[in-house]
């Protein structure tokens, strides 16, 4: 009887837990949708808001930022 009670309790505990398994979205990241070699800039679309914003990068960062990839900006000031 004790085994049945223990097994029942364990089953109830396992199936009664509700978790929030939503994927966390980083609101300072976005997908690069265009770039410009003239001023080493990219235009990225924010993952949270859908806003597009142009960022001017240094050459070393720009050369590794490819269209269609995600890019994160530190301190984007309300992007």
- Tens digits of residue pLDDT in 30-41: 999 999 999 999
Task: Look at residues 65, 24, 67, 26 and name the one whose alpha carbon lies nearest to residue 49.
Answer: 26
Count of domains forming the chain:
1
15 domain-assigned: no
20 domain-assigned: no
16 domain-assigned: no
What sign has the CA pseudo-torsion 47, 51, 57, 63?
Answer: positive
40 domain-assigned: yes
What is the per-residue pLDDT across 50-71, written as a single tens digit (0 to 9) for each? 999 999 999 999 999 999 999 9
Range of the domain at 61: 25-73
């Amino acid at each position: 009887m004790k085994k049945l009670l223990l097994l029942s309790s364990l089953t109830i505990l396992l199936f009664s837990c509700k978790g929030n398994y939503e994927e966390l979205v980083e609101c300072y990241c976005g997908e690069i949708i265009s770039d410009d070699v003239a001023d080493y800039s990219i235009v990225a679309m924010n993952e949270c808001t859908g806003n597009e914003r142009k960022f001017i990068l240094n050459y070393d960062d720009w050369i590794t930022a490819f269209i269609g990839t995600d890019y994160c900006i530190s301190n984007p000031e309300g992007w």
